[in-house]
């Protein structure tokens, strides 16, 4: 359900009762009311035209990206920031990292795109990993609901599998982290790099990668499954930025945008920090991105920007700590590149 802003933000000075925050997870998922015309979606300023890439075609060599935004239109657990997130990420990749438009596959509930159903997302994974060659740089981006369920395979240290929720998950089921790992991690061959950016609740180990970066110790923690199952690649490299840890919620909010457009809190801060560095001709490292997102989200959480009303009887503050995971140890002080 909608949440009025309960504080002040360093990002803007507009009326606080216009700021809305929503959680992208289980408690919020089955409790939110939604009206039919409450979405402040804004058109993308720089490339508002829709360029549709065939999900069954052969991707171009070099750079390619699969972007998935699930807004759950006309459902009670609708998210209003997902479409904005997809537009922002597309423009970010095209303008800042020179991804060709014909190498960016988008699933969205807009008429010009295929909807983010379970089948289409699974087909999108196949598109992303089709015909890989040495030197290819891949991106998988997801903005939508994330859940978790009991693990029965002994693959998870905490006993839970993380899941993505396609638009039709109530009838077709969720996409488990085991499947995601099998679909887009294991096929990667030598010389291929995948960056995943997952903006959902319970997203910490959504790709089931064997290493998780510990911000306190500055070292990589072992996240390999107790079952001994292989979760690595076929020689390639995967790095994943997640919106929060596996047990945490992530926020969709209008508090961060000067225009008060709804967006994923993690997506907005990620893009903002990297774009600012590029604009100022400053290199930015993986650790700096993680630290910047942490700082921004923590500050806004303290003043109430990321406080979401999960149940009718009380309000719950979102504790959202972005996470970095990988298939191999690497120096997090190296420059971020796509």
Give the whole-angstrom CA distance, residue 54 versus residue 45.
24
Rounded to 10°, the helix 265-279/286-302 angle is 130
107 contacts 116 by C-beta, under 8 angstroms = yes
- The catalytic residue among 87, 145, 195, 202 is 145
- The catalytic residue among 68, 201, 244, 305 is 201
- Give per-residue burial for 112-124: e unless 16+ CB within 10 Å, then b: ebbbbbbebbebb
Running DSSP on this structure, what letter comes out for residue 53?
P
Q: Which of 22, 69, 36, 8 is nearest to 265 (CA)?
A: 22
- Tokens 């970095």 correspond to 324
Name beta bridge partners: 234: 189
Q: How far apart are the first and last CA of the chain?
A: 37
145 a catalytic residue: yes
The vertex-287 CA angle with 281 and 292, nearest 5°, equals: 70
Count of residues making up the chain? 338
201 a catalytic residue: yes
Cβ neighbors of 45 (< 8 A, separation 6 or more) are: 91
- Give per-residue burial for 218-234: e unless 16+ CB within 10 Å, then b: eebeebbbeeeeebbbe
Active centre residues (catalytic): 145, 201
């Amino acid at each position: 359900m909608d949440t009025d802003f309960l504080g002040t933000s360093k990002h803007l000075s507009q009326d606080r009762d216009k700021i809305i925050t929503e959680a992208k997870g289980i408690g919020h998922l089955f409790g939110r009311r939604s009206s039919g015309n409450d979405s402040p979606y804004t058109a993308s300023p720089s490339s508002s035209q829709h360029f549709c890439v065939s999900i069954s075609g052969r991707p171009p060599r070099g750079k390619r990206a699969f972007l998935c935004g699930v807004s759950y239109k006309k459902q009670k657990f609708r998210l209003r920031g997902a479409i904005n997130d997809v537009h922002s990420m597309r423009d970010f990749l095209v303008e800042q990292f020179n991804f060709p438009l014909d190498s960016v596959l988008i699933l969205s509930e807009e008429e010009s795109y295929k909807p983010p159903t379970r089948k289409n997302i699974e087909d999108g994974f196949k598109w992303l990993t089709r015909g890989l060659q040495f030197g290819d740089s891949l991106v998988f981006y997801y903005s939508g609901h994330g859940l978790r369920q009991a693990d029965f395979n002994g693959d998870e240290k905490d006993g839970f599998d993380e899941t993505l929720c396609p638009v039709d998950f109530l009838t077709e089921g969720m996409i488990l982290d085991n499947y995601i790992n099998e679909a887009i991690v294991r096929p990667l061959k030598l010389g291929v790099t995948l960056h995943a950016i997952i903006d959902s609740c319970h997203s910490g180990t959504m790709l089931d990668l064997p290493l998780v970066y510990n911000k306190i110790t500055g070292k990589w923690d072992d996240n390999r499954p107790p079952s001994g199952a292989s979760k690595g690649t076929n020689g390639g490299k995967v790095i994943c930025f997640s919106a929060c840890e596996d047990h945490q919620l992530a926020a969709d909010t209008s508090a961060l945008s000067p225009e008060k457009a709804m967006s994923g809190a993690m997506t907005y801060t990620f893009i903002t920090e990297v774009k600012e560095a590029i604009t100022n001709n400053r290199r930015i490292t993986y650790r700096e991105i993680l630290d910047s997102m942490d700082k921004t989200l923590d500050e806004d959480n303290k003043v109430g920007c990321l406080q979401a009303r999960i149940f009718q009887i009380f309000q719950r503050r979102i504790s959202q700590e972005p996470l970095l995971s990988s298939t191999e140890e690497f120096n997090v002080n190296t420059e971020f590149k796509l």
